[in-house]
Amino acid sequence: MAKQKILIVDDSEMNRSILADILGEEFDVIEACDGFEAINTMRSYGVELSLVLLDVVMPRMDGFEVLAMMNNYKWIQDIPVIMISAENSSSYMDRAYELGATDYIQRPFDALVVRRRAINTIMLYSKQKRLIGLVEDQIYEKEKEQSLMINILSHIVEFRNGESGLHVLHIHTMTEILLQNLLKRTDKYQLSLQEISLIATASALHDIGKIGIDDKILNKPGRLTPEEFEQMKNHAAYGAEVLDKMPFYKNEPLVRIAREICRWHHERYDGRGYPDGLKGDEIPISAQVVALADVYDALTSERVYKKAIPHETAIEMILNGECGAFNPVLLGVLKWVADRIQVELRVNSVGEISKQDLNRITKEVVSHEELSVSKRTINLFEREREKYRFIAAMSKEIMFELYADPVTVSFFDESAHKLGVDMIIPNPLEDEKLIACLGKENMIEFGKLIRSATHDDSIVSFECDVKMDGEPRHCRILAMTQYNLNDDTDTYEYVGTVGKIEDITEEYSKMKALEQAATHDSLTGLMNHAHAKSIIQEKLSEQTEKKFLLAVMDMDNFKAINDTYGHIAGDEALKNISAKIKNVLPSDGVAARIGGDEFMIFWECIGDAEASAKKIFRAFKVKFEQDDASLSMGISTSDFSRDYEELFRLADMALYAAKDAGKQRCLFYDESMKGIDLPLRTKCDS
């Protein structure tokens, strides 16, 4: 058998090692150097921990805060705590016991005493856990036998009636759901969980009076005559009578409630039911609820005289008052839980006590606090955690968990290593290693996304650069936020997030390359015409206060270069020009190759337009004298037009005017060029 695990929490390494030395032989010792670490260790080990030895004075989070937190999470009920402290004032000890510590050991401690007390505490707790298990099993057996008897009894009635045993079960389930939710909606009816369970059990007996009804009437396929119906109605009173005449147990709560249900489950809220014509809340709530469940199940089941009606129709008929009047509050509850009823009735199998039921009963018996769960559930939960850990380790993905309170991030072993961060990180926004890995702004952005998620929309996806093994990688963070349902307020409270970090660098750079290819010229690396146009149009229409210049230019003797030196030299010349353009282009300017040897430059004009243009044009001249090549350029300004097509046309006219005037020059468009007839250009919008 594996050794039991003990968690030692102390900020002094020395104290920890003394304790570890004393206890190490018998136990598997885990250490934590402050309260924060302790909480996180408890979080990952849960009830695997058999005992916590807890110091009081510690940095970050002290022993009392740890105890408070353990109360908060209800861990204190399952993990015993022994406080160890040099403090011997009684107020310290009182506080520790009040917060649920099992024992208090003073320093300087005696090796033998520590060992003995640790062992005793663990034995006590495991004995208690074993007892809980025993009680659970016994209650389970007892409850099973009891409902078995009731089921047999009520089945006799149904058997005679030609119904399946499911009717009783359905009524049981539905009664329970209705009552539990009624409790949430109103405090008008004082019902304990135990009473609800009793009513649900007693509901099985609602029709026992039918034992006294003639077979011929009970199983008549057609409509009953008025006389037959009068006889049939007697089953309510008969049932109550049977129970009334019981020689023993007559005053047992179960029998008392069953009697109410038998006699009054055909009463209606408006006083038009039978046998007594009771009105409103004169009818006990037990009988009201069973009546509603009975009507619903009768509608949705097939009987000798009718076919089954679908769930939705049945609910609607009841709500419309087609089956008699019911308590409006109860109808509200029915409407509210209708969907759940449909699901539950489908899944519930015969003769089984639901898990919730068992938990609840156990809880009451061992008077554990309300939210605690049975050992069975904890075991199940532990198994789930184990599976999860295994899958996380196998997948080699970076998985993380984020807790809301206290705010903590945790990574699995290898993930933390890959990212170069700690496995458990309290206050992530302050953690330097994590900030170096993710970037603070990304963390803040991601935090915002988490906060905007809701229970219904809980998946969050976020892309950012993440350092892995020291290299920046482009990653996608996929996460799911998690919530707890607060039964009191019926709202979801955020408790944490789980997620993974996926390296999508390759996918991302492929995307980027495709984007580049679609928008840029492959030879020169400048934009293509279509892309430049869309950017320029945006600038013209959005930055209306700015003045822009648009220049169109081409080489004066490109054909000659191609013919004389070959196409490779021609391409070189184009690349040279592009490099020049990139050099002189103002930082938010736009430059594109719009076809062949034609280029376009667009930039914001600050100061004198002509000077600005000349500065750019001159840059090309120098270069091209060496290359034995020259350029002409035509320019238009946004003063003429803020429409791209028009602006482009004007610049193009200026370019032709420049060519006409003898090339190698740069001209601004003016009114005198109005008449220039432009040759047909190839459109480059594709």
Partner 1 sequence: MTTEELYQTIGGNYREVLGRFMTEDRVLRFVKKFPADGSFELLKTSLENGVQEEAFRAAHTIKGVAQNLGFTALYEKVVVVTEILRGGSMEVAEYMPELERLYKLTVESILKLN
User: Which one of the spans 16-24, 357-365, 407-415, 490-498 is the region binding partner 1 (CB under 8 A)?
Assistant: 16-24
Element at 417 (helix H, strand E): helix 413-419
Chosen residue from 12, 534, 564, 682 binding partner 1 by CB under 8 A: 12
Cβ neighbours of 332 (radius 10 Å): 15
Amino acid at 74: K
What type of residue is 288? Q
Query: Looking at beta carbons only, is 108 or 221 nearer to partner 1?
Result: 108
In angstroms, what is the minimal distance from the CB of 14 to partner 1?
A: 5
Name which of 27 and 400 has its Cβ closer to partner 1: 27
Closest CB to partner 1 among residues 109, 296: 109
CA distance 63 to 41: 14
Side-chain-side CA neighbours of 372 within 13 Å: the count stands at 22
- Between 86 and 678, name the residue whose CB sits nearer to partner 1: 86
The verdict on 611 binding partner 1 (CB under 8 A) reads no
CB of 87 to partner 1, least distance (A): 9
Strands 49-55 and 81-85: parallel
**Among 1, 2, 112, 568, interactor with partner 1 by CB under 8 A:** 112
**CB-based contact 104:11 (threshold 8 Å):** no
Of the pair 15, 664, the CB lying nearest partner 1 is at 15
Distance CA 468, CA 317 (A): 62
Task: Identify which of residues 105 and 676 has a Cβ nearer to partner 1 in the complex.
Answer: 105
DSSP of 40-100: HHHHHHGGGEEEEEEESS-SSS-HHHHHHHHHHTTGGGTS-EEEEES---HHHHHHHHHTT
Closest of 643, 644, 638, 633 to residue 598, by C-alpha: 633
Nearest to 11 by CA among 38, 33, 39: 33
Q: How far is the CB of 179 from partner 1 (least distance, A)?
A: 54
Binder of partner 1 out of 3, 111, 384, 486 (CB under 8 A): 111
The token duo for 261 is 């249900």
Q: Nearest approach, Cβ of 543 to partner 1 (angstroms)?
A: 54
- Smaller CB separation from partner 1, 89 or 367: 89
Residues contacting residue 512 through CB under 8 Å, at least 6 positions apart: none
What secondary structure letter does DSSP report for 225? P
Residue 289: partners with Cβ closer than 8 Å, 6 or more residues away: 175, 178, 179, 182, 199, 203, 330
What phi, psi does 622 have (nearest 5°)? -50, -50
94, 98, 110, 252: residue in contact with partner 1 (rule CB under 8 A): 110
Q: Which stretch binds partner 1 (CB under 8 A): 17-25, 235-243, 487-495, 570-578?
A: 17-25
Nearest distance, CB of residue 59 and partner 1, angstroms: 6
Binder among 107, 130, 144, 546 for partner 1 (CB under 8 A): 107
Contact pattern from residue 60 through residue 89 relative to partner 1, giving x for each residue in contact according to CB under 8 A and a dash for the rest: --------------------------x---
Sign of CA dihedral 127, 133, 135, 141: negative
**What is the rounded CA–CA span in Å between residue 314 and residue 308?**
9
Q: Which CB sits closer to partner 1, 23 or 468?
A: 23
Alpha helices by DSSP H, 486-593: 505-519, 529-542, 558-565, 567-584
- Least CB distance to partner 1 at residue 17 (A): 7
Nearer to partner 1, 111 or 134 (CB): 111
Whether residue 122 contacts residue 80, with contact meaning beta carbons closer than 8 Å, is answered with yes
In this complex, which beta carbon is closest to partner 1, that of residue 55 or of residue 136? 55
Please enumerate in sequence order all residues whose Cβ is within 8 A of that of 611, keeping only pairs 6 or more positions apart, or say none: none
Near partner 1 by CB under 8 A: residue from 2, 25, 108, 677? 108
Choice between 111 and 523, CB closer to partner 1: 111
* Closest CB to partner 1 among residues 107, 340: 107
- Minimum separation from the CB atom of position 106 to partner 1 (A): 9
Cβ 427 to partner 1 shortest distance, Å:
17
Site size toward partner 1 (CB under 8 A) is 18
3-state secondary structure 557-573: CHHHHHHHHCHHHHHHH
Q: Which one, 112 or 347, has the nearer CB to partner 1?
A: 112
- Residue 413, helix vs strand vs coil: helix
> Which of 4, 5, 15, 664 touches partner 1 (CB under 8 A)?
15
CB of 115 to partner 1, least distance (A): 9
Q: Let me know if 174 is exposed, middle or buried by CB neighbors in 10 A (0-12, 13-18, 19+).
A: buried
Separate counts of helices (H) and strands (E) for the chain: 24, 16
Which CB atom, from 85 or from 410, has the smaller least distance to partner 1? 85
Most distant CA pair in the chain, distance: 127
The number of beta carbons lying within 10 Å of the beta carbon of residue 450 is 19
Nearer to partner 1, 18 or 254 (CB): 18
417 binds partner 1 (CB under 8 A): no
Q: 582 to each of 26, 125, 444, how far by Cα in Å?
A: 75, 77, 36
Residue 31 beta carbon to partner 1: minimum distance, rounded to whole angstroms: 15
Segment interacting with partner 1, rule: CB under 8 A, options 52-60, 288-296, 521-529, 532-540: 52-60
For residues 269 and 292, give the distance between their C-alpha atoms in angstroms, rounded to a whole number. Answer: 11
- The piece of 51-59, 154-162, 335-343, 482-490 that touches partner 1 (CB under 8 A) is 51-59
- CA 197/CA 360 separation, integer angstroms: 10
**Which residue lies nearer to partner 1 by CB, 83 or 179?**
83
| Residue 11 touching partner 1 (CB under 8 A) | yes
Cβ burial 241-274 (10 Å sphere, 16+ → b, else e): ebbeeeeeeeeeebbbbbbbbbbbbbbbbeeebb
Tell which one of 4, 5, 17, 449 touches partner 1 (CB under 8 A): 17
DSSP code at position 520? B
The minimum distance between CB 21 and partner 1, in angstroms, equals 6
Which stretch, 7-15, 148-156, 276-284, 675-683, contacts partner 1 (CB under 8 A)? 7-15
Residue 58 binds partner 1 (CB under 8 A)? yes
Stretch touching partner 1 by CB under 8 A, among 102-110, 244-252, 411-419, 676-684: 102-110
Binding mask 18-47 for partner 1 (x = CB under 8 A): x--x--------------------------
Which residues contact partner 1 by CB under 8 A?
Answer: 11-15, 17-18, 21, 57-59, 86, 107-112
